[in-house]
Amino acid sequence: MSALQKIEMLLEVKNLKTSFHTRNGIVRAVNDVSFAIAHGETLGIVGESGSGKSVTCYSLMGLVPQPPGRIEGGTAIFAGKTDLLNCSPKELNAIRGRRMAMIFQDPMTSLNPFMRIEDQIVEPLLIHGLASRAEAVRQAVQMLEHVGVPDAAKRIRSYPHEFSGGMRQRVMIAMALITKPDLLIADEPTTALDVTVQAQILELIKRLQAETGMAVIWITHDLGVVAGFCRRVQVMYAGRIVETAPTEKLFANTRHPYTRALQKSIPALQPKGTELYTIPGMPPDLSRPTGGCAFAPRCEIARPECSAKLPELLEVGLQHCSRCPFT
Amino acid sequence: MSPPQPITEVEAGHSLWQDAWLRLRKNKMAVAGAIFVLVLALASLTAPFMPGLSYSNQNLALGATAPSAAHWFGTDDLGRDQLSRLLYGGRVSLSVGLAATLVSVLIGVLFGMISGYIGGRLDALAMRFVDILYALPFTIFVILLMVIYGRNIYLLFIAIGAVEWLDMARIVRGQVLALKKQEFVEAARALGLRKRRIILRHMIPNVLGIVIVFSTLIVPRVMLTEAFLSFLGFGVQAPQASWGTLIQDGARSWEEFPWLLFFPAGCFSLTLFSLNFLGDGLRDALDVRASKD
Amino acid sequence: MLRLITKRLFETIPVLFIVATLTFFMMKRAPGGPFDSEKQTTPEIRAQIEAQYGLDKPVWQQYLDYLGHLAQGDLGPSFKYAGWSVNELLWSAFPVSLELGLYALAFALTFGLIAGIIAALRKNTWGDYVPMSFATFGICLPTFVTGPLLLLVFASWLTWFNASGWEQPRDRVLPAITLGLYYTAYVARLTRGGMLEILSQDFIRTARAKGASEWRVVWRHSLRGGLLSVVSFIGPAISGLVTGSLVVESIYQIPGLGKFFVMAGFNRDYTMVMGTVLFYAVLIIVMNLLVDIVQVWLNPKLRFE
Ligand SMILES: Nc1ncnc2c1ncn2[C@@H]1O[C@H](COP(=O)(O)OP(=O)(O)OP(=O)(O)O)[C@@H](O)[C@H]1O
Ligand SMILES: [Mg+2]
């Protein structure tokens, strides 16, 4: 990689390691994860439940509950300057909510039930001193209208419990985008919602991204969503990245057996009438590291040596890496 | 449909209690509390059979003396042995604690069970009633009772018991409501068991755990109320003594004879501590939570 | 909101009626009248006194008279303090008790909230263990133990304060602490629990993601929800403060309503006892209503029900 390319990166994560020290042992939720995202880029992170997608983002945002969580190592350079993992709380607070915002998995619990929507949406502007109160309210109403909340000027005075799940997620989006951040982390923003609302929210974020030119990290366990939206995809399994590639390449030339299995389980890609495919077996217990490839017990092409030594994440094509030496 | 299976229920109950016992034993504070209360109760019970212990023997020539080898906890101004008085006072305090708790548990369990079991409008009304009673200064009514009907220990049992049943009623009702939704009661009802039998056979054993836990937490509260009344002079009458009256005596002469205050106050506080730790320990061991609705 | 208030007020009237009726008939059935101790009274004088207090009329008549007066807020004459009405006695003594109660409550809320919040923010460190161990003690120690002990240490040994009286400002310190200690401990526990519960909620994470400082997270986002349980405890606390004031005023010789009530109990001053009980009942019911209103105001979900 050339030096020039490096400078353009908005966020560069290297060897991120996050674990939870629980009573039942150390859960290595994120293990040696590295990736980078450029300005305006869209990166998808895909994986089963419990693969460490959320924890990866929480680590970047400084939201890992400590204790029991602990960031064991790594760096995350934001805009070429600040290391999100090792900077002071003050530096971090200057970035989060202003240049880097996040939408959470569950809109029902992510809004403060004791505060009016208005007070919650204007908060990022006020905290970072970007607008006066009156100006902030004006922008908030505008933003709410923009994300499709009808009658925004009036409803902004309500409390979260007066909103439906889809509307709350729109509020969350408005809140995240009101400062026009450079990076939006969307942590499965649609899983808690029903299908039609899911599609609307997805379209909404796509549109907003086109307007503002922000970079988006889109977390999902659904490869299908990734296909239509993300330029690059990275697949996580048991806290590690197992494959990463530009989206078309990943679909055209899938290398890792786990990605293949995920792909097989997308309903839309399966011939009608066949039984839905699900990956056999259970995700591994992260508090008991195996030493070898974590997917080996569930892998169709596993060999004895798979369980003995952890395979490296190797380049298998241009910008395409996979953690399986046998494909 | 197969008949309900009391056997499996009993088995489940059995292991539940054994588990609870193991968990309780691990809780050091609770165990220490239990031991302290047991020792104290035994000492109080056997006090009348011990030679040389008397709560009323006066020795005016001796007067008030600080703790010594002959009188471990000292003597009061009438020369009475403080340790004996403490043990005799313990008899009164502990028996009021137990008797009044029994009364309150009886009222609370019946009220809560009936309210929860019948449900509907009556239940709503009953709970509103409890809410209103919560707001009333009951201890003051007890004083009123004691003023009007004279100081009588049996009245004390009942009056205090009648004050402390509200929590129990709420908790039991919550538990009954939760149980009502469960399958085995449905099954019993489907089999056509009469209501009374359903309550007796199925509900009572299931409510028992929670009742035991919260009863242990009522005991200290009841003892507190008794001591409070006795301290103000509305409780037990002289020459009988409870810890409350002993503390009152001590509080009157704390400047000259601090030990007369120190020992009963310490003993009473330790007992309250112990009972509270025991109650909390039991609650954790049986893993019961008070659900209020 | 207005509906809540009117509903509560309508509930209050029957409760007060029942309380009044109960106390009245309990008193009527009481063995021994208020003038029994005055042995020298001749039957004539006795009859005269009874007529003066209306005790010669049939019971139902007395009851109706009593309720009639009560409806006008008149609690009748004191049996013991000739020439004084119960109302006058109440109004002369109550301000002292109110002052004491307010100090105690202020003490409890200030220190309880601070200790609870610190403990929650410093969970599982010394900043948590130390205040919470104190709270455990505070909850188990009754006023009639702490009162004399505080006297022993601060008035007798250290001589920082007077042992009794209610004249100088510093005479308020020990009584307020004695009365407030239990509530301080309880408030600290409730605050800690409430704050921990709220701080573990998802919306706190949202606030942090916005770049909110720790200070803002506590004050703007957590306190309101974290204090709900404390507010609902204030109702029972006021009831307990009233009861506690009986002991504290007796220990420190404070000329408040609590002390009057205890004395009236000893003197069998029935009208005074009844009047005080009714007064306490009204006071506590009104305070509970206020607490309910604050609670609804704090919790938007309740506001719409
Ligand atoms: N607070 C915590 N304490 C202990 N373990 C945790 C905690 N938070 C997360 N973990 C563990 O970290 C692992 C990764 O969790 P994470 O939430 O990142 O999964 P995910 O990929 O986001 O899954 P999902 O699709 O369900 O959101 C899981 O095994 C989880 O058990
Ligand atoms: Mg997640």
- Report yes or no on A311 lying in a domain: yes
Best interface-test mutation with C: which of B148, B261, B280 has the largest number of C CBs within 10 A?
B148
Distance from the alpha carbon of residue A321 to the mean position of ligand 1, in angstroms: 25
Bridge-partner residues for A25, per DSSP?
A: A22
Question: Are A115 and C210 in contact (CB < 8 Å)?
Answer: no
pLDDT at site A123: 92
- Distance, in angstroms, between A125 CA and closest chain C CA? 9
Answer for the pair A49, A75: CB distance below 8 angstroms, yes or no. Answer: no
pLDDT at site C184: 93
CATH code of the domain containing A287 = 3.40.50.300
Tell me, using a 6 A CB cutoff, whether residue A52 lines ligand 1. Answer: yes
Give residues 214 to 253 of A whose Cβ lies within 8 Å of C: none
Tell me, using a 6 A CB cutoff, whether residue A65 lines ligand 1. Answer: yes
pLDDT at site C38: 53
Given a cut of 70, whether residue B291 has pLDDT beyond it is no
Best interface-test mutation with C: which of B232, B255, B262 has the largest number of C CBs within 10 A?
B232
Residue with tokens 């407030």: C180
pLDDT at site A140: 92
Position C116 confidence tier, pLDDT thresholds 50, 70, 90: very high
Whole-angstrom distance, CA of residue B111 vs CA of residue B125: 12
Q: Which residue's alpha carbon is nearest to atom 5 within ligand 1?
A: A20
Answer for the pair B275, B220: CB distance below 8 angstroms, yes or no. Answer: yes
Average pLDDT over residues B218-239: 83
Do A139 and A84 lie in one domain? The reply is no
Distance from the alpha carbon of residue C217 to the mean position of ligand 2, in angstroms: 23
**A104 touches C: beta carbon within 8 Å:** yes
pLDDT at site B60: 61
Position C113 confidence tier, pLDDT thresholds 50, 70, 90: very high
Q: Omega of the bond prior to B239 within 30 degrees of 0, cis?
A: yes
- Distance, in angstroms, between C211 CA and closest chain B CA? 37
Q: What is the pLDDT of residues C134-176, one digit of tens each?
A: 888 888 888 888 888 888 888 777 878 777 777 777 788 889 9
- Dmax over Cα atoms in chain B, in whole Å? 82
Best interface-test mutation with C: which of A114, A175, A177, A179 has the largest number of C CBs within 10 A?
A114
- Do B and A count as touching (3 or more CB pairs closer than 8 A)? no
Sign of CA dihedral A244, A248, A250, A253: negative
Tell me, using a 6 A CB cutoff, whether residue A18 lines ligand 1. Answer: no
Question: Are B276 and C15 in contact (CB < 8 Å)?
Answer: no
- Report yes or no on B19 lying in a domain: no
Q: At what angle do helices B204-232 and B166-180 cross, to 10 degrees?
A: 170
Average pLDDT over residues C117-127: 86
Return the SS3 of B81: strand
- Report yes or no on A105 lying in a domain: no
Answer for the pair A50, A286: CB distance below 8 angstroms, yes or no. Answer: yes
Position B221 confidence tier, pLDDT thresholds 50, 70, 90: confident
- Report yes or no on B60 lying in a domain: no
Per the structure, the count of domains in chain B is 1
Which amino acid is residue A245, in one-letter code?
Answer: A
Per the structure, the count of domains in chain A is 2
Whole-angstrom distance, CA of residue B138 vs CA of residue B159: 9
Whole-angstrom distance, CA of residue B94 vs CA of residue C66: 41
Indicate the domain borders of chain C: 86-304
Chain C nearest-CA residue for B270: C140
Given a cut of 70, whether residue C19 has pLDDT beyond it is yes
Q: What is the pLDDT of residues C248-266, one digit of tens each?
A: 988 888 888 888 888 888 8
Answer for the pair C220, C203: CB distance below 8 angstroms, yes or no. Answer: no
- How far is residue A323 from each of residues A57, A161, A327, measured CA to CA in Å? 22, 45, 10
- Report yes or no on B275 lying in a domain: yes
Position C34 confidence tier, pLDDT thresholds 50, 70, 90: low
Return the SS3 of B239: coil
Average pLDDT over residues B217-228: 86
HEC string of chain A equals CCHHHHHHEEEEEEEEEEEEEECCEEEEEEEEEEEEEECCCEEEEECCCCCCHHHHHHHHHCCCCCCCEEEEEEEEEECCCEECCCCCHHHHHHHECCCEEEECCCCCCCCCCCCCHHHHHHHHHHHCCCCCHHHHHHHHHHHHHHCCCCCHHHHCCCCHHHCCHHHHHHHHHHHHHCCCCCEEEEECCCCCCCHHHHHHHHHHHHHHHHHHCCEEEEEECCHHHHHHHCCEEEEEECCEEEEEEEHHHHHHCCCCHHHHHHHHCCHHHCCCCCCCCCCCCCCCCCCCCCCCCCCHHHCCCCCHHHHCCCCCCEEEECCEEECCCCC
> Which burial class, exposed, middle or buried, applies to A235 when counting CB atoms under 10 A from its CB (0-12, 13-18, 19+)?
buried
Q: Could you tell me the strand order of the sheet in which A82-83 lies?
A: A25-38, A9-22, A69-78, A82-83
Given a cut of 50, whether residue C203 has pLDDT beyond it is yes
Tell me, using a 6 A CB cutoff, whether residue A50 lines ligand 1. Answer: yes
Q: Of the bound ligands, which one is closest to the alpha carbon of residue A31?
A: 1
Q: Which residues of B touch C29 (CB under 8 A)?
A: 148
Say which CATH superfamily domain C86-304 falls into: MetI-like (1.10.3720.10)
- Report yes or no on A140 lying in a domain: yes
Residue with tokens 């293949």: A260
Whole-angstrom distance, CA of residue C186 vs CA of residue C141: 12
Subunits touching A (CB < 8 Å, at least 3 pairs)?
Answer: C
Distance from the alpha carbon of residue A70 to the mean position of ligand 1, in angstroms: 13
Do A121 and A226 lie in one domain? The reply is no
Give residues 209 to 238 of B whose Cβ lies within 8 Å of C: 220, 224, 227-228, 231-234
Give residues 142 to 181 of A whose Cβ lies within 8 Å of C: 159, 161-162, 172, 175
Whole-angstrom distance, CA of residue A227 vs CA of residue A233: 9
Q: What is the pLDDT of residues B181-217, one digit of tens each?
A: 766 666 666 666 666 666 666 667 777 777 887 888 8
Angle, CA A34 vertex, CA A33 and CA A36 arms, to 5°: 140
- Report yes or no on B23 lying in a domain: no
Question: Are A112 and C207 in contact (CB < 8 Å)?
Answer: yes
Q: Say if the ipTM goes beyond 0.95.
A: no
Q: Which residue's alpha carbon is nearest to atom 14 within ligand 1?
A: A52
Chain B nearest-CA residue for C247: B232
Average pLDDT over residues B123-139: 80
Angle, CA A79 vertex, CA A75 and CA A84 arms, to 5°: 35
Bridge-partner residues for A220, per DSSP?
A: A46
Beta strands A232-237 and A42-46, pairing class: parallel
Position B15 confidence tier, pLDDT thresholds 50, 70, 90: low
pLDDT at site C185: 92
Give residues 5 to 64 of A whose Cβ lies within 8 Å of C: 58, 61-63
Question: Are C152 and B261 in contact (CB < 8 Å)?
Answer: yes
* Residue B183 domain boundaries: 74-291
Residues 6+ apart with CB under 8 A from B154: none
Tell me, using a 6 A CB cutoff, whether residue A22 lines ligand 1. Answer: yes
Whole-angstrom distance, CA of residue A179 vs CA of residue A256: 39
- Report yes or no on A106 lying in a domain: no
Report the mean per-residue pLDDT for chain C. 82
Position C35 confidence tier, pLDDT thresholds 50, 70, 90: low
pLDDT at site C101: 92
Given a cut of 60, whether residue B227 has pLDDT beyond it is yes
CATH code of the domain containing B259 = 1.10.3720.10
**B147 touches C: beta carbon within 8 Å:** yes
Q: Which bin fits B79, alpha (ψ -120 to 50), beta or left (φ > 0)?
A: left
Answer for the pair A190, A170: CB distance below 8 angstroms, yes or no. Answer: no
Out of A109, A124, A159, the one facing C203 most closely (by C-beta) is: A109
Alpha helices, H only, chain C:
2-28, 43-52, 59-71, 86-121, 126-140, 143-150, 173-199, 202-209, 214-216, 223-226, 228-251, 257-267, 270-298, 300-303
The percent of residues above 70 in pLDDT, for chain B, comes to 72
Bridge-partner residues for A185, per DSSP?
A: A102, A217
- How far is residue C58 from each of residues A238, B149, C21, C63, measured CA to CA in Å? 88, 22, 16, 9
What pLDDT tens digit does each residue of chain A (327 aa) get? Answer: 444 454 568 899 989 999 998 887 888 889 889 999 988 889 999 988 888 899 999 999 989 988 788 898 888 888 888 888 888 888 889 999 899 999 988 888 899 988 899 999 999 999 998 889 999 999 999 889 888 888 888 999 999 988 888 888 889 988 998 998 999 999 888 776 777 777 888 888 888 888 888 999 999 887 877 887 888 999 998 889 999 989 888 888 888 888 888 887 776 666 666 666 777 777 788 777 777 888 878 888 878 888 888 888 888 888 888 888 877
Q: CB count, 10 Å around CB of C88?
A: 14
* Residue A32 domain boundaries: 3-99+181-322
pLDDT at site B41: 85
pLDDT at site C285: 81
Subunits touching B (CB < 8 Å, at least 3 pairs)?
Answer: C
pLDDT at site C125: 83
Question: Are C15 and B136 in contact (CB < 8 Å)?
Answer: yes
Distance from the alpha carbon of residue C63 to the mean position of ligand 2, in angstroms: 70
Given a cut of 90, whether residue C84 has pLDDT beyond it is no
**B149 touches C: beta carbon within 8 Å:** yes
